[in-house]
Amino acid sequence: MIYLNNSTTTKVDERLVKIIEKYSTQEYGVATSDYSSGFEMKSKEAVESAKKIIAEKISGQPGEIFFTSGQSESNTQVLRGLGKGHIITTKIEHSSILEACKALEKDGYSVTYLDVDEEGKIILDQLKKSLRKDTFLVTIQHANQEVGTIQEIEKIGKICRESRVLFHVDASQSFLKEQINVEKMNIDLLTIAAHLIHGPKGVGALYARRGILLKPLIYGSRVLDIPGIAGFGEAARLWKEEDNEKMRKQTKRLLREIGKIPKTIIFTPADSLPNILSVGFKFIEGEAIVLYLDSEGIVLSTGSACSGKGLKPSHVLEAMGFGEEDSHGSIRISLSRYTTDEEIDIAIEKLKEVVGKLREMSPIKG
């Protein structure tokens, strides 16, 4: 199998297996308090170690890191835990932001959904004009899950800080792939997830700047996923910049070769994540491409993998100004540090074959 769907999830680094097993079968205590037994303190030490590693990666402090079950919980915690009033977000956010905002509107919140340009970037002037007296939160993703667009987070953070509005960034896709400095970028809250950096599934983290109080989503004592948290910390520690450089080169090769296919649309802008490439092919369906490639043992996705079932157009591409015809022919290829050059070569060859075959079958000719 050639797995090219790493923006949905990634393979767990085999080096984490022993650590996860250790805290599952040997040091399996519950890290509850400073007054725990020596056995349980080993688990608490694992949590604190993971906090330190993750905090260093974003230039934060260990005491500002809180572990969650993942991206959706962290995002919901922010949206539900700060108060009531006006929220500003974008039209291309992850479903965990957009669906939560829609639910909040029914509860009396007011939400502004910012437009994006043809590259998927927000217009800063529109953000400034959208700020109101009752605006308490701006939540904007660092990088888009479908096309890889990177927002100008530092500029956005400055606007929010000057306006005294809290700034939340969903960095689930960009964590470790792009530089994040919560101090320099004026980020107050930050969401990250383990399963997108070769860590275990079901574990995430929320950075909350010291002094920010969030209402709890869950009351009572909570049993942390110690094996997952320990694995998360180790996954973050193991990530190297060389991984990003390798993926960037492979993505450029994909772009160069796929761009030779007639009537191809490139949705991913030049300045984007190193591992995501979104492209479209006129007159054929992206779903058909994905199914054909799956039969060849090549796994990738079409549109937004978290947008739900059905053949609805991608909300991301729609916001970027692409019509249904272009959107329906879209696929997303996303790489990992395990993706090999040989796999890239095979994927390119098979994709060209499939596109050619589907166009021959299509009743629409251009």
End-to-end CA, the chain: 33
82 within domain boundaries? yes
Residues 137 and 233 in one domain: yes
What is the C-alpha separation between 241 and 116, in angstroms, rounded? Answer: 29
Q: Which amino acid is at 154?
A: E
129 and 71 share a domain?
Answer: yes
**CATH code of the domain containing 267:** 3.90.1150.10
Least confident of 9-13, 25-29, 57-61, 72-76: 25-29
Active site members = 306
Could you say which of 190, 217, 238 is where a domain stops?
238
Q: Would you say residue 252 lies in a domain?
A: yes
Task: Give dist(CA 225, CA 235) in Å, integer.
Answer: 15
pLDDT at 33: 66
In the 8-state DSSP scheme, what is residue 313? P
Q: What are the beta bridge partners of residue 281?
A: 264
43 inside domain? yes
The CB-side HSE value for 78 (13 A sphere, CA atoms) comes to 34
Cβ(87)–Cβ(137) under 8 Å?
yes
- Clarify whether residues 206 and 264 are in a common domain: no
Structural domain count, the chain: 2
Q: Which of 238, 268, 287 is the last residue of a domain?
A: 238
Same-domain status, 146 and 47: yes
Same domain, 220 and 261: no
CB–CB of 165/136 below 8 Å?
yes
Range of the domain at 282: 2-8+241-361
Residue 338 belongs to some domain of the structure: yes
279 part of a folded domain: yes
- 182 and 289 share a domain? no
Q: Are residues 172 and 248 located together in one domain of the fold?
A: no
Whether residues 182 and 261 fall in one domain? no
Please check whether residue 68 lies inside any domain of the structure.
yes
| pLDDT, tens digit, 9 for 90 and up, residues 211-231 | 999 998 888 888 899 999 999
> Are 190 and 247 members of one domain?
no
Question: Buried b vs exposed e over 266-279: b needs ≥16 C-beta within 10 Å?
Answer: ebbbeebbbbbbbb
CATH number at residue 127: 3.40.640.10
Q: 279 and 175, same structural domain?
A: no
Q: Which H or E run contains 130?
A: helix 124-130
Kindly tell me if the per-residue pLDDT of 348 is higher than 90: yes
In a domain, 366, yes or no: no
**What integer best gives the mean pLDDT of the chain?**
94
Complete DSSP assignment for 66-125? EEESSHHHHHHHHHHHS-SSEEEEETT--HHHHHHHHHHHHTT-EEEEE-B-TTSPBPHH
Q: What is the pLDDT of residues 5-38, one digit of tens each?
A: 999 999 999 999 999 999 999 999 887 666 668 8
Per DSSP, the three-state class of 279 is strand
Beta-strand runs (E) in the chain: 2-3, 65-68, 86-90, 110-114, 135-139, 166-170, 189-193, 204-208, 264-266, 276-281, 298-299, 330-334
**Are 77 and 176 found together in one domain?**
yes
Q: Which residue has the tokens 């660092």?
A: 142
pLDDT (tens digit per residue) in 150-172: 999 999 999 999 999 999 999 99
CB 358 within 8 A of CB 284: yes
* Whether 113 contacts 91, CB under 8 Å: yes
**pLDDT tens string 324-337:** 888 888 999 999 99
The per-residue pLDDT for 365 is 62
Examine the domain organization and report whether 234 and 245 are in the same domain.
no
Point out the domain boundary residue: 221, 238, 255.
238
